[in-house]
Structure 1
Amino acid sequence: MKGSENKALNYQGYSLKDSQLFIEKIPAAEIARKAGTPVYVYSENQLLKNMEEFTSNFKDSTGGLSTRVLYASKAFNTIAMLELVRQAGLGLDVVSAGELYTAIQADFPMDKVVFHGNAKSTSELVMALENHVGTIVLDNLHEARKLKRLTETMLEEGSLDKDLSISVLLRVNPGVEAHTHAYIVTAHVDSKFGVLCSDLDTILQISELFNQDDFPVHFDGFHAHIGSQIFDPEAFKAEIDVMCKFIVEFKKCSSMKVRTLDLGGGFAAWYTPDDQPIPIDLVCNTILESIHQAQKENSLHLKNLWIEPGRSITANAACTLYRVESVKHTPNKTYVFVDGGMNDNIRPALYDADYNCDLAQRMDEEKSEKVTVAGKCCESGDILVKEDYLPAAMPDDLLAIYTTGAYGYSMASHYNKLGVPPVVFVKDDQARIVVRRESLEDLIKNEVDERLI
């Protein structure tokens, strides 16, 4: 975006005044001064708005389907975030003991929790049972048998109430590929996730394990997921068509009821002008219209329809603020070096992800210099922004990289012994730290010399 166009105005939650970037009603520079850099900064109002858009639009006006929006917490999982999710009335998708523990600490209602994952440990399944999560999504036959054995053992020991009711969904692979980066497509036939729809014998074995009226864990339906950053609503229509036809084939071979269909996530976010996410109201309406049509064509009567947005709720609600340390000119590039890097945002290195950026205190200046923003990690691939236009940057400038609210904090590492940045929530003219910056002492607090054997 060479010129004077302000990229920040493509995002809600940001405004400009006297060449300064404001996050809600607070100057970004003031947040950086108080919290230090790097720092993840979230607009609380934007988070709530994004969630409200999903909950208000994903409702079946006919009353035939009970709909549920589950927040995919892998995108950004902290106590403060899950408290907002609870406040907004969403359900919750977790994939580990750590994510479940955070939900417990956030006092999240366990009946609205869905436990995902393709390699759940015994301790994680026990934790899910002990805390009475509402739904467990099984990935394969081995895991299903393990859950059955654990449930039977806990019933015999008296550590599990026989009147408890936990639903089981089976993740199936519909073979529908969304056109996204190869590393984040999850529905191809060799995916590590789920059982192929064509493997009906295995699917029947799994479902029959939980077909006892007096057993606290019972089969309730299917889950599918076709990828991430999906820009074409036809992908969801294809998923629904395949899944409904699959359910018809399943019902021909089984007397079990299929009450619930979870369509997964994949709802896209806006990172650069090349991205054209499907508006939330349009994608929700497309899904609801498609499921009604597919049910009618296939004579199905599903009771519950779920979706799992994550990135599309959190990504555009946050930016990361960095301090420019130095600028270097090579024959073909101008590098702007900042005080963070791939340790706080691995996505460019991992997925070749694109981002936009600005100098947060020089917003009205002409953006005449093409730059590459690089981090301080000892890797050539430590690039945060491959290419963007800025005013001629100088040391100590404040740089904002947009749309970092999903998978920045969640995927942060200690590479090069760098601490994870703090997380700040901003609402109107108030800002609060919800995750503190890791100190040098934090980095070695678990390093011990304890005899094991």
Structure 2
Amino acid sequence: MSRSAHPAGPRHADVLPEGHYTAPPADLNELEPRVWPQTTARAATGAVSVGGIDVRELAEEFGTPVYVLDEADFRARCRAWRDAFGPGADVFYAGKAFLSRAVVRWLNEEGLNLDVCSGGELATALAGGMPAERIALHGNNKSSAEIRQAIQVGVGRIVLDSFQEIVRVAHIADQLGKRQPVQIRITVGVEAHTHEFIATAHEDQKFGLSLSDGHAAEAVRRVLKLDSLELIGIHSHIGSQIFDTSGFEVAAHRVVGLLADVRDEHGVELPEIDLGGGLGIAYTPEDDPREPHQIATSLAEIVSRECRGAGLSVPRLSVEPGRAVVGPSAFTLYEVGTVKELPGLRTYVSVDGGMSDNIRTALYDAEYSVSLVSRASEARPMLSRVVGKHCESGDIVVRDSFLPADVAPGDLLAVPATGAYCRSMASNYNHVPRPPVVAVRDGEARVIVRRETEEDLLRLDVG
């Protein structure tokens, strides 16, 4: 369907207004490989299986809604990013996308580093066994407690985001008798082609120190004067859900320009640059993301070319994929509760989750696909809106998609590509407990984050 409009339209595919929607799939029983876990997702027997397990079995054992995470697919994507950039670069998984102790173990075993942006994420990283020297602490307003904990355990880098934070980190490091490696996050004035709330390198936003107004250069001066801080590089992040590297080219040019200014003013060549993450994934069949090896080749060429032009040695490159690793590795499994046809418009299909387990549709107008996964159907395609159970008209899971016209209560629907930012942004709206995360691999399933219960909610209510 068009990304620019979601107009009302007739129910059947053969009379949809031209240009408003893409045609329905030729076979509603087929899985679009780009949006499903590519390693193990299958739809050969009428019902979908992943990790060798039928989704009907998963629903029966673990209930719905449930996030299903394909461990083999997750690990394969970790290796793809690691191998694409090679030993001369660092790949930091962005823990904010989704983090658990099991995920930390997988990251460690597959050779990825980890970027965290809160004390809770740091605690999870350490509990999962990630070596502290392979952890980066991020964030625009780190508390003194978070900074102290990070320095005490020996995190490999802290990314500084303000003048106040330079003083705070230096003071705590001095108190602890440590020399803390740091990077400075700068804003380079590149606005990624993405939603306003996830574009992070234009000037009018909360992250980083501006390159254009001289604050970034001043931050370098201040850090280099402090004995308790070791400046190892510059950090830049231009946004999220990005499908090409043109924005990175402009960002790299400006970052390298700052590195050249640092050399000229201070006689120091900083050894690292971090270009952040934000590479996009396929949420719908229309999305066409680039592969890790294509991204790695492009970024390496951009940085090398810019450094040659500035007469600099090529610094060690870091990137921070999060969504691009975990996003396609998971899907959310729901059960249909009600089906409500609005003649001449569409059919509303209500499921047993909603905006409490996936806020992205409401928050970012994000688009997803959806499939009937508990059985095959030969019914005609029906224009559907998949909605949740919450008392909110904006509680939409998938705004417009085609489902078989015989979809009925009790059917299982799956929304793929929900591994990133769904569980990590989940809420208890309407006092609905958050779903579990179930990892599947080689015919076995296990809970890695358990389902919340009403008892969990009441345990926090001490009034």
TM-score, reference length from structure 2: 0.91
Picking from 349, 352, 373, the partner of 1:360 is 373
Deviation at 1:280, TM superposition (A): 1.3
Tell me the amino acid that sits aligned with residue 62 of structure 2: A
Deviation at 1:329, TM superposition (A): 1.4
Q: Report the counterpart of residue 457 of structure 2 in structure 1.
A: 443
Deviation string for 1:163-197 (max 9, x for gaps)?
x4431100000111111112211111112111111
Deviation string for 1:98-152 (max 9, x for gaps)?
0001011111100010000001111111111111111000001011111122223
Q: Report the counterpart of residue 85 of structure 2 in structure 1.
A: 58
Q: State the distance in 2 between where 1:41 and 1:372 align.
A: 22
Q: Report the counterpart of residue 242 of structure 1 in structure 2.
A: 254
Deviation at 1:400, TM superposition (A): 0.6
Tell me if structure 1 keeps the 8 A contact 2:31–2:43.
no
Tell me the amino acid that sits aligned with residue 122 of structure 2: L
Tell me the amino acid that sits aligned with residue 106 of structure 1: G
Q: State the distance in 2 between where 1:305 and 1:231 align.
A: 20
Deviation at 1:257, TM superposition (A): 3.3
Tell me if structure 1 keeps the 8 A contact 2:170–2:228.
no
Q: State the distance in 1 between where 2:335 and 2:448 align.
A: 21
Picking from 24, 27, 40, the partner of 1:4 is 27
Picking from 316, 319, 323, the partner of 2:328 is 316
Q: Report the counterpart of residue 14 of structure 1 in structure 2.
A: 41
Deviation at 1:199, TM superposition (A): 3.0
Q: Residues 337-416 of structure 1: matches in 2 within 5 Å?
A: 337-366=350-379, 368-391=381-404, 392-416=406-430
Q: Report the counterpart of residue 67 of structure 2 in structure 1.
A: 40
Matched, 1:88 2:101: no
Matched, 1:70 2:64: no
User: Are the structure 2 counterparts of residues 363 and 308 from structure 1 closer, same or farther at C-alpha, using a change threshold of 3 Å?
Assistant: farther
Q: Secondary structure at the match of 2:164?
A: helix
Deviation at 1:367, TM superposition (A): 5.2
Q: Residues 7-406 of structure 1: matches in 2 within 5 Å?
A: 7-10=31-34, 11=36, 12=38, 13-59=40-86, 66-152=88-174, 154=175, 160=176, 162=177, 164-200=178-214, 202-211=215-224, 215-331=227-343, 332-366=345-379, 368-391=381-404, 392-406=406-420
Q: How many residues align?
A: 434
Q: Secondary structure at the match of 2:460?
A: coil
Tell me the amino acid that sits aligned with residue 212 of structure 2: S
User: Are the structure 2 counterparts of residues 15 and 149 from structure 1 closer, same or farther at C-alpha, using a change threshold of 3 Å?
Assistant: same
Deviation at 1:403, TM superposition (A): 0.4
Tell me the amino acid that sits aligned with residue 396 of structure 1: G
Deviation at 1:388, TM superposition (A): 0.8
Tell me if structure 1 keeps the 8 A contact 2:262–2:269.
no
Q: State the distance in 2 between where 1:362 and 1:368 align.
A: 15
Deviation at 1:317, TM superposition (A): 0.3
User: Are the structure 2 counterparts of residues 428 and 242 from structure 1 closer, same or farther at C-alpha, using a change threshold of 3 Å?
Assistant: same
Tell me if structure 2 keeps the 8 A contact 1:261–1:302.
no
Q: State the distance in 1 between where 2:337 and 2:260 align.
A: 60
Deviation at 1:366, TM superposition (A): 4.3
Tell me if structure 2 keeps the 8 A contact 1:343–1:420.
yes
Deviation string for 1:188-244 (max 9, x for gaps)?
1112111111233x334433443368x343111100001111112222222212211
Q: State the distance in 2 between where 1:3 and 1:395 align.
A: 24
Q: State the distance in 2 between where 1:21 and 1:367 align.
A: 19
Q: Secondary structure at the match of 1:7?
A: coil
Q: Relative to structure 2, which stretch is displaced further, 73-82 or 16-25?
A: 16-25
Q: State the distance in 1 between where 2:110 and 2:179 align.
A: 25
Tell me if structure 2 keeps the 8 A contact 1:258–1:302.
no
Q: State the distance in 2 between where 1:221 and 1:426 align.
A: 39
Tell me the amino acid that sits aligned with residue 448 of structure 2: V
Tell me if structure 2 keeps the 8 A contact 1:372–1:386.
yes
Tell me the amino acid that sits aligned with residue 7 of structure 1: L
Tell me the amino acid that sits aligned with residue 194 of structure 2: T
Picking from 436, 440, 444, the partner of 1:422 is 436
Q: Secondary structure at the match of 2:371?
A: strand
Tell me the amino acid that sits aligned with residue 352 of structure 1: D
Q: State the distance in 2 between where 1:368 and 1:431 align.
A: 32
Q: Relative to structure 2, which stretch is displaced further, 123-132 or 253-262?
A: 253-262
Tell me if structure 1 keeps the 8 A contact 2:173–2:180.
no
Q: State the distance in 1 between where 2:111 and 2:380 align.
A: 42
Tell me if structure 2 keeps the 8 A contact 1:419–1:439.
yes
Q: State the distance in 2 between where 1:367 and 1:241 align.
A: 52
Q: Secondary structure at the match of 2:42?
A: strand
Tell me the amino acid that sits aligned with residue 259 of structure 1: P
Tell me if structure 2 keeps the 8 A contact 1:38–1:322.
yes
Q: Secondary structure at the match of 2:43?
A: strand
User: Are the structure 2 counterparts of residues 364 and 238 from structure 1 closer, same or farther at C-alpha, using a change threshold of 3 Å?
Assistant: farther
Q: State the distance in 2 between where 1:86 and 1:235 align.
A: 30
Q: Relative to structure 2, which stretch is displaced further, 247-256 or 93-102?
A: 247-256
Deviation at 1:281, TM superposition (A): 1.1
Q: Report the counterpart of residue 63 of structure 1 in structure 2.
A: none
Q: Report the counterpart of residue 11 of structure 2 in structure 1.
A: none
Tell me if structure 2 keeps the 8 A contact 1:233–1:278.
no
Q: Secondary structure at the match of 1:389?
A: strand
Q: State the distance in 2 between where 1:254 and 1:175 align.
A: 24
